[in-house]
Structure 1
Amino acid sequence: MKELRLSIYLLLAIIVLSCKGNSIKTAEIKGQRIAIDEKIEANAEIEEFIQPFKQHLNKTLDSTLAYNPRAMVKSDGDLNTAIGNLMADVVMEQAGSVFKSRTGNEIDMVLLNHGGIRSGLNKGNISTRSAYALMPFENEIVVAELSGEKIKEMLTYLERAKTAHPVSGIQIEMDQDYKVTSAKINDEEIDEDKTYFVATSDYLQQGGDNMSFFKNPIELYKVDYKLRNAIIDYFKKVDTLKVDKDNRFIRK
């Protein structure tokens, strides 16, 4: 045993001594930026392989789901727009039935963000591709149970934002200085002692767009429904879109 230990020590000493004369240098690293543009020729074999999948995908994305009688853009109103109203109403309708079947409760209102509207809707046929352009993100619909006090914080946020954030289920009136003069949910004044079920996106509920009033709700319910999928399902079940600007969020 003693001889074995001595052999191990001797071996380690030889390894250490043999390494002393070696110098370690950092290898030189060179980088080159390669632009991904039309100058790069397509690989014919890969193109042939993906062609059937590409054709199937395009057919699915470009299939007509509904008809839009007039163009909608998110810049066509001060505090509410036709396309923003459409998105909020879609969430109310599509997620509302799922939420009620799971909890027995009704969604009281919806709040989305103006910046989340990523494109307009052209006049004419509306397709799945239209829905992907409108909502390219993987945002999920969630329902936050908020106190009446938190709803008041939400109104203060909207006063500061001065932006057409899409809403449904609530009617808000502001004066010319963007101060709230009236706010009702289900045609009733907001009661700080009540709680309200507010549908939104998981991004906003986590504080996106500085909507901190959504954080730490009384209860948070997942609907397991992507916002984009709700839009697609809505398009599938209607023949013609009938959405306009209204008086749900106005400035007098």
Structure 2
Amino acid sequence: MKKHILILALAALSACNPSYHLTNRTANRIGVDSVTASTDSSVVNFLQPYRQGLEKTMNEVLAHSSGRIEKGQPEAPLNDLLTDALLKQAIQRYGKPIDCSHLNFGGIRSNLPEGNITIGSIFEVMPFDNQLMVLTVKGDMLQQMLNHFAKGNKLVVGGLQAKIHDEQVQSVTFTNGRTLQPTETYTIVMSDYVANGGDDAGFLKNPIKSENINYLMRDALIDYFREQGKTGQLINPVSDGRIRIE
């Protein structure tokens, strides 16, 4: 008897669920912007203190530049300035010497203006929350990294000079006096993005040592420019010829 009741119940349920199929679809675009959407004054008033605080922070002047500082290939003033700044600040945080610094060219998202360099300017250049990593590697891995980024003239480094021929680095001279030898060990400071294999640099995932120094790249740059501003000297946008194409 219970079996018959179950069968009847299932039949009733199936009869109550007719099949459906899509016969037509339409779409309308609804624009929402400052013209079509009215302002909610209560929300505006609530956010106003936070907005004022944010604007005050972003408008803080860190330093002054005598001209616009731009990135470029194979080398440019901004490339050199940023990698030198990251190397200097990383050495201070790390507490030990670091041979060189690297910055992926695509990670430089804007240029720096002539005149006031503000915290907002640094956020435009470096909007991502990337950490600084110190990698200890053998010379042959460092050579592989330099060759990798030399392709397409995307090599952005501090602490060394490199000569490039046919998109391969032929010679390297470190500003600390070292030379590049395949079996010697070197330290490089770079973003966690590249250290973890970003920008097709998967070969960097297996260094001798990888250390996160708990320092945002953006914070390192802010600290650097704030220190430069305290000296009262203008920042001059120049390149030093560290990348040479032969």
TM-score interval, normalised by the smaller of the two chains: 0.7 to 0.9
Instruction: Say whether 1:22 aligns with 2:5.
Output: no
Match for 1:212 among 202, 207, 223?
202
| CA separation of 1:225 and 1:16: change in aligned 2, threshold 3 A | same
Quote the residue 2:217 is aligned against: 227
Letter of the 2:185 counterpart:
T
Quote the residue 1:88 is aligned against: 83
What is the CA–CA distance in structure 2 between the aligned matches of 1:12 and 1:65, rounded to whole Å?
78
What is the CA–CA distance in structure 1 between the aligned matches of 2:54 and 2:189, rounded to whole Å?
31
Letter of the 2:62 counterpart:
L
Q: CA deviation at 1:162?
A: 2.1
Q: What SS class does the counterpart of residue 132 from structure 1 fall into? A: helix
Match for 2:160 among 139, 154, 170?
170
Q: CA deviation at 1:179?
A: 4.0
Q: What SS class does the counterpart of residue 154 from structure 1 fall into? A: helix
Quote the residue 2:107 is aligned against: 116
Q: CA deviation at 1:145?
A: 1.6
Q: What SS class does the counterpart of residue 222 from structure 1 fall into? A: strand
Match for 1:183 among 158, 161, 172?
172
What is the CA–CA distance in structure 2 between the aligned matches of 1:140 and 1:12, rounded to whole Å?
63
Q: What SS class does the counterpart of residue 250 from structure 1 fall into? A: strand
Letter of the 1:72 counterpart:
I
| CA separation of 1:15 and 1:94: change in aligned 2, threshold 3 A | farther
Quote the residue 1:138 is aligned against: 129
Quote the residue 1:3 is aligned against: none
Quote the residue 1:62 is aligned against: 59
Q: What SS class does the counterpart of residue 172 from structure 2 fall into? A: strand
Q: What SS class does the counterpart of residue 135 from structure 2 fall into? A: strand
Quote the residue 2:33 is aligned against: 37
What is the CA–CA distance in structure 2 between the aligned matches of 1:71 and 1:243, rounded to whole Å?
7
TM-score (ref. length: structure 2): 0.85
Q: CA deviation at 1:183?
A: 0.8
| 45-54 vs 58-67, which moves further | 45-54
Structure 2, unaligned stretches of length 5 or more?
A: none
RMSD: 2.4
What is the CA–CA distance in structure 2 between the aligned matches of 1:24 and 1:52, rounded to whole Å?
56
Quick check: 2:93–2:213 contact (8 Å CA) kept in 1? yes
Letter of the 2:16 counterpart:
N
Deviations 1:12-41 (A, max 9, x none): 556434313122545978754433433333
Quick check: 1:87–1:166 contact (8 Å CA) kept in 2? no
What is the CA–CA distance in structure 1 between the aligned matches of 2:158 and 2:105, rounded to whole Å?
13
How many equivalent pairs are there?
238
TM-score (ref. length: structure 1): 0.83
